[in-house]
Chains A and B, each alone.
Chain A
Amino acid sequence: MQLRTLTPQRIYILIGYAVAATALFCAPLYLNDFRLNLLAKFLAFAIVALGLDLIWGYTGILSLGHGVFFGLGAYAMAMYLKLEASGGRLPDFMEWSGLASLPLFWKPFESFGFAVAAGLLIPALLALFLGYFTFRNRIKGVYFTILTQALVIITTTLFIGQQALTGGTNGLTGFSTLFGTPLAGEGMKHTLYYVTAVLLIAAFVLCRFIVKSRFGKVLRAVRDGENRARFIGYNPAVYQMVVFSISGALAGLAGMLFVLHVGIISPSMMGIVPSIEMVLWVAIGGRGTLVGAALGAILMNAAKSVFSENYPDAWLFFLGLLFVIVVVFLPKGLVGLFSRITFRKREESEEHEAAAAISHPAVRAGNG
Chain B
Amino acid sequence: MRKRVWSSVLLLVLSLSLILAGCGSNNGGTAPASSGAETASGTSSSGSSDNGSEIKVGILHSLSGTMAISEKSVHDAELMAIEEINAKGGVLGKKLVPVIEDGASDWPTFAEKARKLISEDKVATVFGGWTSASRKAMLPVFEEMNGLLWYPVQYEGLESSPNIFYTGATTNQQIVPAVTWLLENRGKKCYLLGSDYVFPRTANKIIKEQLKAEGGELAGEEYTPLGHTDYSTIISKIQQADPDVVFNTLNGDSNVAFFKQLRDAGITAQDMTTLSVSVAEEEIRGIGADVLEGHLAAWNYYQTTDTPENKTFVENYKAKYGADRVTADPIEAGYTAVYLWAAAVEKAGSTDIAAVKEAAKGLEWSAPEGKVTIDGENQHIYKPVRIGEVQADGQFKELWSTGEAVKPDPYLKGYDWAASLSSGR
List chain A positions with a Cβ less than 8 A from chain B. 7, 9-10, 12-17, 19-20, 22-24, 27, 30-35, 37-39, 41, 89-90, 93, 95-98, 157, 160-161, 163, 168-171, 173-176, 183-184, 262-266, 268-269, 289, 291-292, 294-295, 298-299, 302, 305-306, 308-313, 315-316, 334-335, 338-339, 342-343, 345
Contacts and interface: CB of A to CB of B under 8 A. Distances in A.
Contact of A306 (B24, B101, B145, B201): B24
A171 B107 contact: yes
Contact of B6 (A39, A302, A339): A339
Contacts of B187: none
B7 A13 contact: yes
Nearest to B23: A30
A345 B132 CA distance: 54
Range of interface residues on B (Cβ < 8 Å): 35 or more
A25 B117 CA distance: 26
B111 A316 contact: no
B4 A309 contact: no
A342 B136 contact: no
B311 to A, nearest CB: 30
Nearest to B24: A306
A299 B17 contact: yes
B5 interface: yes
B266 to A, nearest CB: 31
Contact of B101 (A9, A13, A262, A309): A309
B202 interface: yes
B111 A262 contact: yes
Contacts of B18: 23-24, 27, 39, 298
B144 to A, nearest CB: 4
B322 interface: no
Interface of B: 1-19, 21-26, 28-29, 31-32, 63-64, 100-102, 104, 106-109, 111-113, 115-116, 119-120, 131-133, 136-137, 139-141, 144-145, 158, 196-198, 201-202, 205, 225-226, 421, 423-424
A173 B141 CA distance: 10
A302 B17 contact: yes
A338 B22 contact: no
A30 B132 contact: no
Given A9-B2, A13-B4, A13-B8, A30 B136 contact: no
A96 B144 contact: no
Contact of A9 (B1, B21, B25, B139): B1
B136 A312 contact: no
B175 to A, nearest CB: 14
A30 to B, nearest CB: 6
A226 B24 CA distance: 47
A262 B24 CA distance: 22
B8 A32 contact: no
A150 to B, nearest CB: 15
B10 A308 contact: no
A64 B145 CA distance: 36
A264 B137 contact: yes
A161 B424 CA distance: 25
Q: Which of B6, B107, B120 has the most CB of A within 10 A?
A: B6
Contact of B1 (A7, A334, A338): A7
A137 to B, nearest CB: 30
A335 B10 contact: yes
A157 B5 contact: no
Contacts of B109: 308
B104 A338 contact: no
Nearest to B118: A34
Contacts of B141: 263
Given A263-B140, A308-B102, A338-B13, A291 B7 contact: yes
A19 B112 contact: no
A96 B102 contact: no
Contacts of A310: 25, 28-29, 31-32
A183 B113 CA distance: 18
A339 B4 CA distance: 10
Contacts of A161: 196
14 contacts: A13-B7, A17-B11, A20-B12, A23-B18, A24-B15, A30-B23, A32-B26, A39-B21, A268-B107, A306-B25, A312-B100, A313-B63, A315-B102, A342-B9
Given A39-B18, A174-B139, A339-B6, A96 B225 contact: no
A24 B2 CA distance: 25
B237 to A, nearest CB: 18
B32 A266 contact: no
A96 B23 contact: no
The 4 closest A-B pairs by CB, nearest first: A16-B8, A23-B15, A16-B11, A169-B197
Given A266-B137, A302-B17, 11 more contacts: A10-B4, A17-B8, A19-B12, A37-B115, A173-B140, A263-B111, A295-B10, A309-B101, A313-B102, A335-B10, A345-B2
A264 B31 contact: no
Contacts of A16: 7-12
Q: Which of A22, A30, A173, A315 has the most CB of B within 10 A?
A: A173
A13 to B, nearest CB: 4
Contact of B201 (A97, A262, A302): A97
B71 to A, nearest CB: 12
Given A264-B107, A312-B100, A12 B14 contact: no
Given A312-B101, A316-B64, A160 B5 contact: no
A313 B63 CA distance: 7
Contacts of A289: 7
Nearest to A271: B106
Nearest to A342: B6
